[in-house]
Amino acid sequence: MSRGLGDVYKRQMFIGREEELKFLEDRYNSADGQLVVLYGRRRVGKTELLRQFCQDKEHIFYTCTEIIDEKQLEAFSQRLLEKNHQAAKYITRFSDWEQALLSISELAKEKKIVVVIDEFPYMVKGNNAIPSILQKLWDEVLKQSNVMLILCGSAMSFIEKEVLAEKNPLYGRATGILKMQAMDFYSAQQFFPNYSTEDKITAYAILGGIPHYLKQFSDKYSLDENIVRNILSRGSVLYSEVEFLMRQELRETSVYNAVIEAVALGNTQLNDIFQKTQIDKSKLSVYLKNLLELGIMCREFSVDANIKEQANTQRGLYKVTDNFFGFWYAFVFPNLSELESGDAGGIYQYVVKPELERFTSYVFEDVCQQYLRKQNRKHDLPFYFTKIGRWWNKTDEIDIMAVDYRQTQILLGECKYKHRPVDVKDLKHFLAKKVAQDKSLYYYFFSKAGYTEQAVAYAAEQGIKLVGLDDLV
């Protein structure tokens, strides 16, 4: 199939983020000034989203860098004065931050203007008085003006603790707060229109929902080729991505490496992580807390866990939420010395490929959950659920459990990511799982390799809904 300019254009087109764009548009169309805080981990696509949003609007886009305060003010002044600013006739820079930020209202006299300050934490680190100055100007001038000011940042804990927290000057001033999350499977798979459903799921299992990672793969090449060229080969962007991010966000990277690797290899309980890493438990809890804050990890509880149980730091299962981090720590990190010697093909053939199906099977459960959420929004399920997740007790485990608000109806899901079709025995085993018998139960089965004829007939008898790979997309 020939690939012309149209295809290149399609690859570069902006994908997904409809909800986020709608959120920003709604704020833009509101009366009075708008102060929006948009934040999320690095590479999640914040800057791209804002550029897309600003495209057809009068705007100023300023990206802060880690420079001294005086230089930051000078660079910010230049961006403002470039914008046909009255003051540009008389000055080449503003004398202080108050003058610079106040001048934004001058630019909005004729029509609404969007002012984006990207990586805002760098500006504040250079001068910690900026939130107070901004608060004063917002209260006195800017909130009545025709300005939409967007403060954007990647340092999530900084934004939450230094900008949004109650003790800070800007507390309660924001007219919109958007924490950007990774894309879901449905947006991520749009990067690979020419892949089969199975390959789309595997690509998502490897790269997750981070646009910057998804862009590194191309569906012109097979998954095997993409993994070898773009992850396992020295010099590729994704080969060193995790180390780069870790050094940016954390000190003691060697300790964090040990913790994430332990979890990526299946040690999910606090005690298991301790056994694997031998890090003192009180210190280990701090390291885990920092990884939770960065969104690299999460703590998972059974869907029926109460608030008290979730508050207990000893409980819950730790899991790497970022698919790419999970992949990198499972396959790249333990084999760095071989990869450094240039044997990407060997590591793929003998380490990655034999394990890839098993690795993808965990993410497959997540994709099936997303499918059910999608059906739930469309009201295409037997009931509307308000909670969904995994369920387990001491003896049994269920891949997916969804529960309604009154907890009288339960949807149970089983996910099989194997090469062989699901047979009657699999379905009987699923029905035999012991869950609350006094509730209305609905059964959903998800299978990568389809179902035998006997299984289809048995499912129809028992009222089990069968979902195949192609149903998911």
Q: What separation, in Å, do the N-terminal and C-terminal C-alpha atoms of the chain show?
A: 23
Q: How far is CA 453 from CA 231, 457, 460, 471, 472, in A?
A: 40, 6, 11, 18, 20
Whole-number percent of the chain with pLDDT over 90: 79
Please state, rounded to an integer, the average pLDDT across all residues of the chain: 92
Give the pLDDT confidence score for residue 84 in this predicted structure: 65
Over residues 10-16, mean pLDDT: 64
In the predicted model, is pLDDT for residue 1 greater than 50?
no
Alpha helix stretches (DSSP H) within 15-107: 18-28, 46-54, 69-81, 97-102, 104-107
User: Which tokens sit at 313?
Assistant: 């730091």
Are 118 and 61 a contacting pair, CB within 8 Å? Answer: yes
Are 362 and 201 a contacting pair, CB within 8 Å? Answer: no
Over residues 340-347, mean pLDDT: 96
Give the pLDDT confidence score for residue 66 in this predicted structure: 94
pLDDT band at 435 (very low <50, low <70, confident <90, very high): confident
pTM recorded for the entire structure: 0.90
Each residue of 233-284: pLDDT tens digit? 999 999 999 999 898 888 899 999 999 999 998 899 999 999 999 999 889 9
In the predicted model, is pLDDT for residue 25 greater than 70?
yes
Over residues 187-213, mean pLDDT: 97
Are 83 and 107 a contacting pair, CB within 8 Å? Answer: yes
Helix (H, G, I), strand (E, B) or coil at 423: coil
In the predicted model, is pLDDT for residue 12 greater than 60?
no
Residue 303, amino acid? V
- How big is the CA angle at 262 (ends 258 and 265), to the nearest 5 degrees? 135
Are 443 and 338 a contacting pair, CB within 8 Å? Answer: no
Q: How far is CA 384 from CA 367, 410, 445, in A?
A: 19, 10, 18
Residue 266, amino acid? G
Distance of CA 424 to the CA centre of its chain: 37
Over residues 19-45, mean pLDDT: 94
C-alpha 50/C-alpha 27 separation (Å) is: 13
**Phi, psi for residue 332 in degrees, rounded to 5:** -85, -55
What per-residue string of b and e applies to 356-378 under the rule 16 or more CB within 10 Å gives b? bbebbbbbbbbbbbbbbbeebee
C-alpha 469/C-alpha 196 separation (Å) is: 10
Least confident of 83-92, 348-357, 427-436: 83-92
Give the pLDDT confidence score for residue 7 in this predicted structure: 38
pLDDT band at 85 (very low <50, low <70, confident <90, very high): low
Least confident of 8-22, 56-70, 274-288, 382-396: 8-22
In the predicted model, is pLDDT for residue 4 greater than 80?
no
| Of 396, 370, 377, 387, residue with least CA distance to 467 | 370
pLDDT band at 132 (very low <50, low <70, confident <90, very high): very high
Residue 302 burial (CB count, 10 A): 17
Whole-number percent of the chain with pLDDT over 70: 97
Domains of the chain, CATH where assigned: 17-179 (3.40.50.300), 186-362 (1.10.10), 381-472 (3.40.1350.10)
| Of 219, 201, 202, 212, residue with least CA distance to 371 | 201
Over residues 419-444, mean pLDDT: 91
Give the pLDDT confidence score for residue 295 in this predicted structure: 83
Give the contacts of 136 (CB within 8 A, at least 6 positions apart): 98
Are 430 and 443 a contacting pair, CB within 8 Å? Answer: yes
In the predicted model, is pLDDT for residue 75 greater than 90?
yes
pLDDT band at 10 (very low <50, low <70, confident <90, very high): very low
Give the pLDDT confidence score for residue 349 in this predicted structure: 98
Tell me the DSSP string of 354-396. Answer: HHHHHHHHHHHHHHHHHHHHHHHHTT-SSS-EEEEEEEE-SS-
Each residue of 348-373: pLDDT tens digit? 999 999 999 999 999 999 999 999 99
Helix (H) or strand (E) holding 201: helix 197-207
